[in-house]
Amino acid sequence: MVPSTDLPGFNQSKKAHPQEYLTRVLAIIFTGIVCFLIFAILWPTQPSPLGIVIRLLGIALGGVWLYRFLTRHIRQRGMIRQAPFPAAWESILEQKVPFYQALSAPDQRRFREEVHIFLREKRITGINTSIDDTIRVLVAASAIIPIFGFPGWEWEHIREILIYPTSFDEGYQMGSAQEHPISGMVGTG
């Protein structure tokens, strides 16, 4: 794990991913460079103390805004991690996902966290069918299982998952399995 730092916003706990830490560090570096360049461009030829203070204050406020903008995704993820995992979802995992059942307690906690993030960030839409919590949790678990051994890896290009009530063909026409042999497909999101 990357060592923590005393800078504000750097809560490098067990739950934080190394990519999030790196994003924060790069955001600070980028913000610092941008603020320095803006300061250099706005430096007056005949500086007055009030003019310098106003410029520095404006650049500092702009720097804070830029840092918060660059790290907004991390803060959103932090809120998801802090939110309680619904008991109904945990029950679905315990009853219907053998992979989850076989995990150790710490891995189950991480799996629940990944499922929670997936369900909050991805839209699951039913095509001529209704979607309940069981389907949503099973879709999320099915997405997390193949990448669970790669911490930090995620389905960043997938925004929406479409659920069809039956199998379908290349033209997305639904019907029997003999006429329409596709029961699942992964696209580019």
Higher pLDDT, 181 or 115: 115
Q: Let me know: does 166 contact 175? Beta carbons within 8 Å.
A: yes
The structure tokens 């990357």 sit at 2
179: confidence class by pLDDT, cuts 50, 70, 90 = low
Residues 89-130 have pLDDT tens digits of 999 999 999 999 999 999 999 999 999 999 999 999 988 889
Residues 129/163, Cβ–Cβ less than 8 Å: yes
Q: Is 170 strand, coil or helix?
A: coil
Tell me, yes or no, if the pTM score tops 0.95: no
- Residue 79 pLDDT class (50, 70, 90 cuts): confident
Q: What is the pLDDT of residue 105?
A: 95
Beta strand pairing status for 160-163 and 167-168? Answer: unpaired
Domains and CATH numbers, the chain: 18-80 (no CATH), 85-175 (1.10.472.150)
Highest mean pLDDT among 30-34, 162-166, 168-172: 30-34
The neighbouring-strand residues paired with 160 are: 123
Helices 105-121 and 87-96, packing angle to 10 deg: 120
